[in-house]
Protein backbone atom coordinates (compact mmCIF):
# COMPACT_ATOMS: atom_id res chain seq x y z
CA UNK A 1 0.00 0.00 0.00
CA UNK A 2 1.40 3.42 -0.92
CA UNK A 3 1.49 6.14 1.68
CA UNK A 4 -1.23 8.07 -0.20
CA UNK A 5 -3.59 5.08 -0.08
CA UNK A 6 -3.19 4.40 3.61
CA UNK A 7 -6.35 5.04 5.63
CA UNK A 8 -6.17 8.10 7.88
CA UNK A 9 -6.74 6.95 11.43
CA UNK A 10 -8.61 9.48 13.46
CA UNK A 11 -7.00 10.37 16.78
CA UNK A 12 -8.80 8.87 19.75
CA UNK A 13 -8.97 9.51 23.46
CA UNK A 14 -9.97 7.31 26.37
CA UNK A 15 -12.26 9.60 28.34
CA UNK A 16 -13.75 9.01 31.75
CA UNK A 17 -16.31 11.83 31.84
CA UNK A 18 -17.10 15.46 31.10
CA UNK A 19 -19.21 17.49 33.50
CA UNK A 20 -19.64 21.00 34.84
CA UNK A 21 -19.48 21.73 38.54
CA UNK A 22 -17.98 24.05 41.14
CA UNK A 23 -14.20 24.00 41.48
CA UNK A 24 -13.52 22.74 44.98
CA UNK A 25 -9.73 22.74 45.12
CA UNK A 26 -6.86 25.14 44.84
CA UNK A 27 -6.67 28.89 44.36
CA UNK A 28 -9.70 29.06 42.02
CA UNK A 29 -12.21 27.27 44.25
CA UNK A 30 -15.74 28.49 43.69
CA UNK A 31 -15.43 29.00 39.93
CA UNK A 32 -17.85 27.32 37.54
CA UNK A 33 -15.67 24.77 35.80
CA UNK A 34 -16.00 22.15 33.12
CA UNK A 35 -14.04 19.02 34.08
CA UNK A 36 -12.61 16.84 31.33
CA UNK A 37 -11.58 13.68 33.14
CA UNK A 38 -9.03 11.72 31.16
CA UNK A 39 -8.95 7.97 31.86
CA UNK A 40 -5.88 6.25 33.25
CA UNK A 41 -3.31 6.75 35.97
CA UNK A 42 -0.42 4.48 36.86
CA UNK A 43 0.26 6.12 40.23
CA UNK A 44 -1.13 4.59 43.37
CA UNK A 45 -2.02 7.30 45.90
CA UNK A 46 -3.89 5.41 48.61
CA UNK A 47 -6.23 8.36 49.21
CA UNK A 48 -7.17 8.73 45.53
CA UNK A 49 -10.86 9.61 45.18
CA UNK A 50 -11.21 8.87 41.47
CA UNK A 51 -10.58 5.12 41.52
CA UNK A 52 -13.14 4.66 38.74
CA UNK A 53 -10.89 6.61 36.32
CA UNK A 54 -7.56 4.88 37.02
CA UNK A 55 -7.77 1.96 34.59
CA UNK A 56 -6.60 2.78 31.08
CA UNK A 57 -9.74 1.15 29.70
CA UNK A 58 -12.14 2.95 32.04
CA UNK A 59 -14.70 5.28 30.50
CA UNK A 60 -15.12 5.17 26.74
CA UNK A 61 -13.04 5.62 23.61
CA UNK A 62 -13.97 8.64 21.48
CA UNK A 63 -12.56 10.26 18.38
CA UNK A 64 -10.97 13.58 19.39
CA UNK A 65 -13.34 15.54 17.15
CA UNK A 66 -16.31 14.03 18.93
CA UNK A 67 -14.91 15.15 22.29
CA UNK A 68 -14.41 18.67 20.93
CA UNK A 69 -18.09 18.67 19.95
CA UNK A 70 -19.09 17.32 23.38
CA UNK A 71 -17.14 20.10 25.08
CA UNK A 72 -18.74 22.75 22.85
CA UNK A 73 -22.27 21.33 23.18
CA UNK A 74 -22.10 20.95 26.97
CA UNK A 75 -20.41 24.23 27.70
CA UNK A 76 -22.48 26.32 30.11
CA UNK A 77 -22.59 30.11 30.17
CA UNK A 78 -20.11 31.80 32.48
CA UNK A 79 -17.73 28.86 32.66
CA UNK A 80 -14.48 30.25 34.09
CA UNK A 81 -12.16 27.49 32.91
CA UNK A 82 -11.91 23.98 31.53
CA UNK A 83 -9.92 21.56 33.66
CA UNK A 84 -7.95 18.62 32.40
CA UNK A 85 -8.02 16.17 35.23
CA UNK A 86 -7.94 12.44 35.70
CA UNK A 87 -6.71 9.96 36.11
CA UNK A 88 -3.48 11.56 35.02
CA UNK A 89 -3.88 13.87 31.99
CA UNK A 90 -0.22 13.56 30.93
CA UNK A 91 -0.67 9.90 30.00
CA UNK A 92 -2.74 10.97 26.96
CA UNK A 93 -0.84 14.22 26.48
CA UNK A 94 -1.32 14.36 22.70
CA UNK A 95 -5.09 14.29 23.09
CA UNK A 96 -4.89 16.91 25.86
CA UNK A 97 -2.79 19.11 23.59
CA UNK A 98 -5.36 18.87 20.76
CA UNK A 99 -8.28 19.59 23.07
CA UNK A 100 -6.54 22.45 24.90
CA UNK A 101 -5.62 24.07 21.57
CA UNK A 102 -9.25 23.80 20.48
CA UNK A 103 -10.55 25.24 23.76
CA UNK A 104 -8.22 28.23 23.61
CA UNK A 105 -8.40 28.96 19.89
CA UNK A 106 -12.00 28.04 19.05
CA UNK A 107 -13.83 28.65 22.32
CA UNK A 108 -11.59 31.36 23.77
CA UNK A 109 -11.64 29.83 27.24
CA UNK A 110 -9.01 29.34 29.94
CA UNK A 111 -7.39 25.92 30.16
CA UNK A 112 -6.21 24.38 33.41
CA UNK A 113 -4.29 21.23 34.19
CA UNK A 114 -4.08 19.31 37.43
CA UNK A 115 -1.30 16.79 37.25
CA UNK A 116 1.07 14.74 39.32
CA UNK A 117 3.70 15.97 36.83
CA UNK A 118 5.34 12.59 36.49
CA UNK A 119 6.88 13.35 33.08
CA UNK A 120 8.37 16.75 32.21
CA UNK A 121 8.83 15.83 28.53
CA UNK A 122 5.10 15.33 28.15
CA UNK A 123 4.38 18.43 30.21
CA UNK A 124 6.62 20.45 27.87
CA UNK A 125 4.56 19.34 24.88
CA UNK A 126 1.26 20.71 26.22
CA UNK A 127 2.35 23.79 28.15
CA UNK A 128 1.80 26.26 25.28
CA UNK A 129 -1.92 25.53 25.36
CA UNK A 130 -2.41 25.61 29.14
CA UNK A 131 -3.13 28.82 31.08
CA UNK A 132 -3.21 27.62 34.68
CA UNK A 133 -1.11 24.84 36.22
CA UNK A 134 -1.77 23.06 39.47
CA UNK A 135 1.49 21.29 40.21
CA UNK A 136 0.91 18.45 42.64
CA UNK A 137 3.78 17.22 44.77
CA UNK A 138 3.39 13.75 46.22
CA UNK A 139 4.91 12.93 49.57
CA UNK A 140 6.28 9.46 50.17
CA UNK A 141 3.38 8.41 52.38
CA UNK A 142 0.98 8.90 49.43
CA UNK A 143 2.35 5.60 48.07
CA UNK A 144 2.05 7.12 44.57
CA UNK A 145 5.24 5.28 43.61
CA UNK A 146 7.47 2.85 45.44
CA UNK A 147 10.34 4.41 47.35
CA UNK A 148 13.02 3.64 44.78
CA UNK A 149 11.12 5.67 42.16
CA UNK A 150 10.27 8.56 44.45
CA UNK A 151 13.33 10.71 43.60
CA UNK A 152 12.55 10.35 39.87
CA UNK A 153 8.96 11.50 40.45
CA UNK A 154 10.12 14.45 42.56
CA UNK A 155 12.64 15.53 39.92
CA UNK A 156 9.91 15.54 37.28
CA UNK A 157 7.57 17.51 39.54
CA UNK A 158 10.28 20.13 40.12
CA UNK A 159 11.06 20.34 36.40
CA UNK A 160 7.35 20.75 35.56
CA UNK A 161 7.11 23.54 38.15
CA UNK A 162 10.05 25.30 36.50
CA UNK A 163 8.55 24.78 33.03
CA UNK A 164 5.20 26.29 34.06
CA UNK A 165 6.89 29.31 35.63
CA UNK A 166 9.38 29.80 32.78
CA UNK A 167 6.43 29.82 30.38
CA UNK A 168 4.73 32.47 32.55
CA UNK A 169 1.69 30.36 33.37
CA UNK A 170 -0.44 30.98 36.45
CA UNK A 171 1.19 28.34 38.64
CA UNK A 172 0.36 27.06 42.07
CA UNK A 173 1.40 24.11 44.17
CA UNK A 174 -0.81 21.59 45.93
CA UNK A 175 0.38 19.05 48.45
CA UNK A 176 -2.02 16.57 50.01
CA UNK A 177 -1.09 15.76 53.60
CA UNK A 178 -2.41 13.03 55.85
CA UNK A 179 -1.89 12.24 59.48
CA UNK A 180 1.12 10.13 58.53
CA UNK A 181 2.88 12.65 56.27
CA UNK A 182 6.35 13.19 57.67
CA UNK A 183 7.07 16.70 58.97
CA UNK A 184 10.76 16.17 58.21
CA UNK A 185 10.08 15.12 54.63
CA UNK A 186 7.68 18.06 54.17
CA UNK A 187 10.35 20.49 55.44
CA UNK A 188 12.90 19.06 52.99
CA UNK A 189 10.38 19.29 50.15
CA UNK A 190 9.70 22.97 50.92
CA UNK A 191 13.46 23.63 50.86
CA UNK A 192 13.82 21.98 47.46
CA UNK A 193 10.85 23.90 46.03
CA UNK A 194 11.91 27.35 47.29
CA UNK A 195 15.54 26.76 46.36
CA UNK A 196 14.26 26.25 42.81
CA UNK A 197 11.72 29.07 42.34
CA UNK A 198 11.11 32.59 43.60
CA UNK A 199 8.07 33.28 45.78
CA UNK A 200 6.88 35.99 43.37
CA UNK A 201 6.56 33.42 40.60
CA UNK A 202 3.95 31.43 42.50
CA UNK A 203 0.20 32.12 42.47
CA UNK A 204 -0.45 30.06 45.58
CA UNK A 205 0.53 27.17 47.81
CA UNK A 206 -2.26 24.87 48.94
CA UNK A 207 -1.97 22.34 51.74
CA UNK A 208 -4.89 19.97 51.24
CA UNK A 209 -5.84 17.53 53.99
CA UNK A 210 -6.85 14.02 52.96
CA UNK A 211 -10.59 13.54 53.02
CA UNK A 212 -12.30 10.77 55.04
CA UNK A 213 -9.11 8.70 55.21
CA UNK A 214 -6.23 9.15 57.67
CA UNK A 215 -7.15 12.82 58.07
CA UNK A 216 -4.59 15.09 59.71
CA UNK A 217 -5.50 16.91 62.91
CA UNK A 218 -5.76 20.70 62.95
CA UNK A 219 -2.54 20.84 64.98
CA UNK A 220 -0.72 18.78 62.40
CA UNK A 221 -2.05 20.91 59.54
CA UNK A 222 -0.74 23.99 61.33
CA UNK A 223 2.67 22.35 61.65
CA UNK A 224 2.83 22.02 57.85
CA UNK A 225 1.54 25.58 57.44
CA UNK A 226 4.19 26.90 59.84
CA UNK A 227 6.92 25.40 57.68
CA UNK A 228 5.75 27.24 54.56
CA UNK A 229 4.55 30.58 55.98
CA UNK A 230 7.97 32.04 56.93
CA UNK A 231 9.05 31.57 53.30
CA UNK A 232 5.74 32.12 51.52
CA UNK A 233 2.99 34.00 53.35
CA UNK A 234 0.28 33.14 50.81
CA UNK A 235 0.11 29.49 51.88
CA UNK A 236 -3.44 28.25 52.56
CA UNK A 237 -4.91 25.12 54.15
CA UNK A 238 -7.93 24.28 52.01
CA UNK A 239 -9.93 21.03 52.11
CA UNK A 240 -11.84 19.76 49.09
CA UNK A 241 -14.73 22.21 49.27
CA UNK A 242 -16.89 20.54 46.62
CA UNK A 243 -17.33 17.58 48.95
CA UNK A 244 -18.56 19.84 51.77
CA UNK A 245 -21.31 21.35 49.60
CA UNK A 246 -22.22 18.06 47.96
CA UNK A 247 -20.95 19.01 44.49
CA UNK A 248 -19.07 16.56 42.31
S1 LIG B 1 -2.03 10.78 40.77
FE2 LIG B 1 -4.14 11.51 41.05
S3 LIG B 1 -5.41 10.13 39.82
FE4 LIG B 1 -3.40 9.12 40.09
S5 LIG B 1 -3.65 7.80 41.89
FE6 LIG B 1 -2.81 9.77 42.62
S7 LIG B 1 -4.64 11.00 43.19
FE8 LIG B 1 -5.37 9.29 41.90
Q: What pLDDT is stored for residue 242 in this prediction?
A: 92
**CB of 48 shorter than 6 A to ligand 1:** yes
Q: What is the CATH number of the domain that holds 166?
A: 3.20.20.70
Residue-wise pLDDT tens digits, 116-152 = 999 999 999 999 999 999 999 999 999 999 999 999 9
The predicted-structure confidence for 62-97, as pLDDT tens digits, reads as follows: 999 999 999 999 999 999 999 999 999 999 999 999
Residue 226 in domain: yes
Residues 40-53 have a mean pLDDT of: 96
* Mean pLDDT for the chain overall: 96
Q: Is 170 in the pocket of ligand 1 (CB under 6 A)?
A: no
The verdict on residue 240 lying in a domain is: yes
Atom of ligand 1 nearest to the CA of 47: 7
Per the domain annotation, does 4 fall within a domain?
no
Question: At CA 25, angle to CA 19 and CA 29, rounded to 5?
Answer: 85
Give the Cα separation of 139 and 116 in Å (integer).
Answer: 11
Q: What is the pLDDT of residues 150-208, one digit of tens each?
A: 999 999 999 999 999 999 999 999 999 999 999 999 999 999 999 999 999 999 999 99
So what's the pLDDT on residue 1?
A: 47
DSSP state for residue 240 in the 8-state scheme: -
pLDDT at residue 215 greater than cutoff 50: yes
Provide the domain count of the chain. Answer: 1
Per-residue model confidence (pLDDT) at position 91: 98
Q: How far apart are CA 224 and CA 86, in angstroms?
A: 26
More confident residue, 2 or 68: 68
Q: Is residue 7 assigned to a domain?
A: no
Domain membership of residue 205 as a residue range? 12-244
Residue 50 Cβ < 6 Å to ligand 1:
yes
Q: Which residues, other chains included, contact 92 with Cβ-Cβ below 8 Å and sequence gap of 6+?
A: 13, 14, 38, 39, 40
Amino acid sequence: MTKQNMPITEKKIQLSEIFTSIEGEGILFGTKTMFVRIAGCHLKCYWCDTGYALAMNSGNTYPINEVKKMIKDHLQNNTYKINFTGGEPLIQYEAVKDLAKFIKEELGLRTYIESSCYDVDRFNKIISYIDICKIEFKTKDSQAVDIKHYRYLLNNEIECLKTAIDNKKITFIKIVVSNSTSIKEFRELIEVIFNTIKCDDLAGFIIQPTSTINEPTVNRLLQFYDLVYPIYNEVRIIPQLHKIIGAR
